[in-house]
Amino acid sequence: MRNFFRTLAPEQFDANVSIRANGSYSYSYQGTLIFVPALIQASRAGFLEPHLDGRLKDATAQLRQEGFTEADYLGRGRYAVVSQRSRANGESSYFPSREMPVFSIRPQPNGAIMIAGSRPDASAPCQLIGTEAEIDGRLIVTLERGVTVLNHNAENNAATLDRFGEYHWRIKSPDADPFMTVLPAQ
């Protein structure tokens, strides 16, 4: 279990990132995370070893220590989680981990901020093939007025009365690659 956070993958989720004009941001994630080795074992054997299942249930305490406001074990390597975090301008974030991000938010040397999706290492998508994983998530990035969009591959975007822009992605596979680069107000 020492690589626990390195092997969590998204399944059903809603993720939101809000970039403020000063470059600070907040993000939230509500949905399911899968402990990939357990899902593989359960899919191949038809069950999860009781010892591993017990350890995974105990890991909800570790998730809460890492900042998840809610973490419930659903069985078969799945967790229902809620996380909300805020970061200052210049701080990077990788959710839930650098090794297996659902999304990352990374300041660039030129002052821009890159929001990128879940392209984990090359072996991760193959690991989920043949399992019961049903990836279906939404990523929404909301920008305050004054934030300039440099590039993106969003499926759609819209402006609202209280926000400058809102950009949407639907994520249906582990190799989805949503991205956006923005420049906060100078």
Count of other CB atoms within 10 angstroms of residue 185: 12
Q: What is the SS3 assignment for 79?
A: strand
DSSP readout, 107-129? E-TTS-EEEE-----THHHHHHT
> Distance between CA 133 and CA 1 in Å, rounded?
20
Arithmetic mean of pLDDT over the chain: 86
For residue range 59-102, list pLDDT tens digits in order: 999 899 888 999 999 998 999 999 999 999 999 998 887 777 77
Name the token pair of 29.
């994630």
Domains of the chain: 4-183 (2.60.40)
DSSP readout, 6-23? GGEEEEEEEEEEEE-TTS
The answer to whether 153 and 114 have CB atoms below 8 angstroms apart is no
Counting Cβ atoms within 10 Å, is residue 37 exposed (0-12), middle (13-18) or buried (19+)? Answer: middle
pTM comes to: 0.86
